[in-house]
Structure 1
Amino acid sequence: MADVQPVPAGRPAEAAARGRKPLGAGFLVEATAPGDVFTAEDLTEEQKMIGQVARDFAWQEVRPRLEELEHGHHEHSVALLRRAGELGLLAVEIPAEYEGLGLDKATATLVVEKLAPAGSFGVTFGAHTGIGTLPIVYFGNPEQKRRYLPKLATGEWIAAYALTEPDAGSDALGGKTRAVLSPDGKHYILNGQKQWITNSGFAHVFVVYAKVDGDKMTAFIVERDFPGVSVSEEVRKMGIKGSSTRMLYLNEVPVPVENVLGEVGKGHHIAFNILNIGRWKLAAGNLGACKELIALATRYAQGRKQFGQPIATFPLIQQKLAAMAVRTYALEAMVYRTAGAFDASLREIDGDAPDAGRQAIAAISEYAVEASINKVFGSETLDFVVDEAVQIHGGYGYMQEYEVERAYRDARINRIFEGTNEINRLLIPRELMRRTMKGQLPLMQALTRVQKELAEMAPLGPAGEAASGPLAEEQALIANTRRLGLMVAGLAVQKYMQQLEHEQELLAAIADLAIELYAMESAVLRALKAGGNGLHADLARLFVAGSLDRVEIIARNALAAIERGDTLQVQLGLVRRLLRREPVNQVALGRQVAAAVLEAGGYPLAGR
Structure 2
Amino acid sequence: MSTTMNKVIGGSYIIEDTDFHSIVTPEDFTEEHRMIAETTEDFVAGEVVPHDEAIEKLNYELTVEKMRKAGELGLLGADVPEAYGGLGLDKVSSTLISERLTKASAFALSIGAHVGIGTLPIVYFGTEEQKQKYLPALATGEKIAAYCLTEPSSGSDALGAKTTATLSEDGEYYVLNGSKQFITNAGFADLFIVYAKVDGKDFSTFIVERTMEGVSIGPEEKKMGIKGSSTCPLILEDVKVPVENLLWEVGKGHLIAFNILNIGRFKLAAGCVGASKDTIELAAKYANERAQFGRKISTFPLIGKKLADMNTKTYALESMVYRTAGLFDVGLAEVDHTSPEVGYQSAKAIAEYQLECSINKVFGSETLDFVVDEGVQIHGGYGFIQEYRVERNYRDSRINRIFEGTNEINRLLIPGTLVKRAMKGQLPLMQKAVALQAELLEPIPPQTFEGTLDQEAHLIKMAKKIFLMAGAQAVQKYQLKLEDEQEILSHLSDMMISVYAMESALLRTQKIIDRSGEDKARLPILMTTVFVHDEFNKIETWAKEVLAAMESGDTLRTQLSVLKKLTRKSPVNTLGLKREIAEKVIAAEKYVL
Which residue of structure 2 lines up, in the alignment, with residue 499 of structure 1?
481
2:496 corresponds to 1:514? yes
Among residues 510, 513, 518, which one is paired with 1:528 in the alignment?
510
What aligned pairs does 1:3-82 form with structure 2 within 5 A after superposition? 15-82=1-68
SS in 2 for 1:530: helix
Q: Could you say what the CA RMSD is over the residues aligned between the two structures, in angstroms?
A: 1.1
Among residues 437, 448, 464, which one is paired with 1:451 in the alignment?
437
Q: Which amino acid in the other structure matches residue 579 of structure 1?
A: T
**Change in 2 beyond 3 A, CA 1:371/1:409:** same
The alignment covers a number of residue pairs equal to 587
What residue ranges of structure 1 are gaps of 5+ in the alignment? 1-14
Among residues 477, 496, 510, which one is paired with 2:459 in the alignment?
477
Q: Which amino acid in the other structure matches residue 58 of structure 2?
A: G
What aligned pairs does 1:53-202 form with structure 2 within 5 A after superposition? 53-202=39-188
Instruction: Give yes or no for contact 2:145–2:189 (8 Å, CA) kept in 1.
Output: yes
What residue ranges of structure 2 are gaps of 5+ in the alignment? none
Q: Which amino acid in the other structure matches residue 511 of structure 2?
A: K
Which residue of structure 2 lines up, in the alignment, with residue 560 of structure 1?
548
Q: Which amino acid in the other structure matches residue 197 of structure 1?
A: I
C-alpha distance in structure 1 between counterparts of 2:494 and 2:81, whole Å: 36
Which residue of structure 2 lines up, in the alignment, with residue 3 of structure 1?
none
Deviation at 1:470, TM superposition (A): 2.3
Q: Which amino acid in the other structure matches residue 86 of structure 1?
A: E
Which residue of structure 2 lines up, in the alignment, with residue 9 of structure 1?
none
C-alpha distance in structure 2 between counterparts of 1:460 and 1:91, whole Å: 55
What aligned pairs does 1:534-573 form with structure 2 within 5 A after superposition? 534-573=522-561
1:303-330 deviation per Cα after TM superposition (whole angstroms, max 9, x unaligned) = 1111121111111111100000000000
Among residues 227, 233, 236, which one is paired with 2:222 in the alignment?
236
What aligned pairs does 1:267-278 form with structure 2 within 5 A after superposition? 267-278=253-264
What aligned pairs does 1:318-467 form with structure 2 within 5 A after superposition? 318-350=304-336, 352-356=338-342, 358-456=344-442, 458-461=443-446, 465-467=447-449
Q: Which amino acid in the other structure matches residue 227 of structure 1?
A: E
C-alpha distance in structure 2 between counterparts of 1:574 and 1:44, whole Å: 46
Deviation at 1:599, TM superposition (A): 2.2
2:200 corresponds to 1:218? no
Deviation at 1:459, TM superposition (A): 4.0
Which residue of structure 1 lines up, in the alignment, with residue 296 of structure 2?
310
Deviation at 1:286, TM superposition (A): 0.4
Instruction: Give yes or no for contact 2:146–2:186 (8 Å, CA) kept in 1.
Output: yes
C-alpha distance in structure 2 between counterparts of 1:264 and 1:446, whole Å: 40
Instruction: Give yes or no for contact 2:498–2:535 (8 Å, CA) kept in 1.
Output: yes
C-alpha distance in structure 2 between counterparts of 1:70 and 1:510, whole Å: 40
C-alpha distance in structure 2 between counterparts of 1:165 and 1:459, whole Å: 54
Deviation at 1:565, TM superposition (A): 0.7
Deviation at 1:467, TM superposition (A): 4.3
Q: Which amino acid in the other structure matches residue 78 of structure 1?
A: V
Instruction: Give yes or no for contact 1:559–1:571 (8 Å, CA) kept in 2.
Output: yes
Which residue of structure 2 lines up, in the alignment, with residue 6 of structure 1?
none
Q: Which amino acid in the other structure matches residue 62 of structure 1?
A: V
1:188-238 deviation per Cα after TM superposition (whole angstroms, max 9, x unaligned) = 000000000000000000000000011000000000000000011111000
Instruction: Give yes or no for contact 1:386–1:411 (8 Å, CA) kept in 2.
Output: yes
SS in 1 for 2:404: coil
- The range that moved more, 363-372 or 239-248, is 363-372
**Change in 2 beyond 3 A, CA 1:349/1:195:** closer
2:569 corresponds to 1:581? yes
SS in 2 for 1:603: coil
1:556-606 deviation per Cα after TM superposition (whole angstroms, max 9, x unaligned) = 11111111111111111222211111111111110111111122221013x
Percent of pairs with identical residues: 56
Instruction: Give yes or no for contact 1:596–1:604 (8 Å, CA) kept in 2.
Output: yes
C-alpha distance in structure 2 between counterparts of 1:80 and 1:357, whole Å: 32
SS in 1 for 2:155: coil
Instruction: Give yes or no for contact 2:124–2:337 (8 Å, CA) kept in 1.
Output: no
Instruction: Give yes or no for contact 1:18–1:344 (8 Å, CA) kept in 2.
Output: no
Instruction: Give yes or no for contact 2:125–2:342 (8 Å, CA) kept in 1.
Output: no
